[in-house]
Amino acid sequence: MLKRYFLLLLFFPLTCSIAQQVSNVRAESKGDVIYVFYDLKGSMDNQKYKISLYSSHNQLEEPVALVSGNIGDTITAGNDKRIEWQAKNELSRYNGEISFEVQATLVYSPLAMSASQVSKTYKRAKAHTFSWRGGVVNEKIRLELFNGNTRVAQTEDIANKKQYKLTIPAHARPGDKYRLKVTTVNHPDNYTLSNTFSVKRRFSWPVKLIPVAAAGIAYLLIEQPWVPDRTLPGPPGLPKEQ
């Protein structure tokens, strides 16, 4: 995201193009110093941006050096941010038209579980989608499933795609104290925890026992077929003498 100004002989007209996070850019010169003002809007609280100022005198290849103020890699959102650029000292031999850019790059964004996570019960041995907000581009994250204070499972380091389909392990004990923890790998202090939720068996006991009982009956019928008793009765006993 960037804002660009065009100037001739270090004169700044107060016009700008619109970018997503940087807005209301304006500039003024006082003596040898050019002051650049801007508003910075974040999508979440406590985000941090790297702010740089570029000039066309070097084809925008490197940021200008003689700057101070609200510039660097720990800038938070807010209005009326100010950069002080010692333009005349840095461009002492430059003559002609010049442009410069105020560039903002998100370098830190706290993680937060998405409000769309409304389910309170999940089944074992099934995949469930969890989502969250925050993190930055190309940042690796890790998911951990806890039952109380005991870690039940964890993922490998994966790309932060803001959601993940997690399979609850079949060996997880049924209970109602489960939580999911999402952590950025490079900043372990940047993590978020879900609300507690329950894990239950995939099938209830009656459903599980019915197929087993049916299989047992089939086994008995196949392995032990019924055969009618064809044994003849014995002869009657002799009559008793009088």
CATH code at position 86: 2.60.40
Length of the chain: 242
Query: Is residue 4 scored above 90 in pLDDT?
Result: no
Residues 21, 85, single domain; the answer is yes
The pLDDT of 45-55, averaged and rounded, is: 91
Q: Is residue 155 part of a domain?
A: yes
Q: Is residue 130 part of a domain?
A: yes
Query: Please, are residues 182 and 140 in contact by the beta-carbon 8 Å criterion?
Result: no
Give the count of domains, the chain. Answer: 2
Residues 104, 14, single domain; the answer is yes
Higher-confidence position of 70 and 11: 70
Which distant-in-sequence residues (6+ apart) come within 8 Å of 198 by Cβ?
120, 121, 122, 174, 175, 176, 178
Residues 32, 116, single domain; the answer is no
Residues 97, 144, single domain; the answer is no
Looking at the chain, the whole-number percentage of residues with pLDDT higher than 70 is 73
Class of residue 14 by CB neighbours under 10 A (exposed 0-12, middle 13-18, buried 19+): exposed
Query: Which one of 74, 108, 142 terminates a domain?
Result: 108
Higher-confidence position of 213 and 161: 161
Q: Is residue 31 part of a domain?
A: yes
Query: Is residue 10 scored above 60 in pLDDT?
Result: no
Place 185 in a pLDDT band, splitting at 50, 70 and 90: very high
Query: Is residue 148 scored above 70 in pLDDT?
Result: yes
Q: Is residue 96 part of a domain?
A: yes
Q: Is residue 65 part of a domain?
A: yes
Q: Residue 220: what pLDDT?
A: 42
Q: Is residue 230 part of a domain?
A: no
Opening angle at CA 14, ends 11 and 18, nearest 5: 125
Residues 42, 62: Cα–Cα separation, whole Å? 25
Lowest model confidence (mean pLDDT) among 16-30, 33-47, 119-133, 210-224: 210-224
Residues 100, 132, single domain; the answer is no
The pLDDT of 140-159, averaged and rounded, is: 96
Q: Residue 167: what pLDDT?
A: 94
Q: Residue 204: what pLDDT?
A: 57
Which distant-in-sequence residues (6+ apart) come within 8 Å of 167 by Cβ?
125, 126, 127, 128
Query: Which one of 75, 108, 141 terminates a domain?
Result: 108
Higher-confidence position of 98 and 171: 171
Query: Which one of 108, 141, 168 terminates a domain?
Result: 108
Query: Please, are residues 132 and 33 in contact by the beta-carbon 8 Å criterion?
Result: no
Residues 13, 102, single domain; the answer is yes
Residues 100, 29: Cα–Cα separation, whole Å? 14
CATH code at position 168: 2.60.40.10
Q: Is residue 195 part of a domain?
A: yes
Query: Please, are residues 82 and 147 in contact by the beta-carbon 8 Å criterion?
Result: no
Query: Please, are residues 84 and 166 in contact by the beta-carbon 8 Å criterion?
Result: no
Q: Is residue 139 part of a domain?
A: yes
Per-residue exposure over 27-53, b if at least 16 CB sit within 10 Å of its own CB, e if not: beeeeeebebbbebebeeeebbbbbbb
Q: Residue 241: what pLDDT?
A: 52
Q: Under DSSP, is residue 212 helix (H, G, I), strand (E, B) or coil?
A: helix
75-103 residue pLDDT tens? 999 999 999 999 888 887 777 777 778 88
- What domain range includes position 94? 2-108
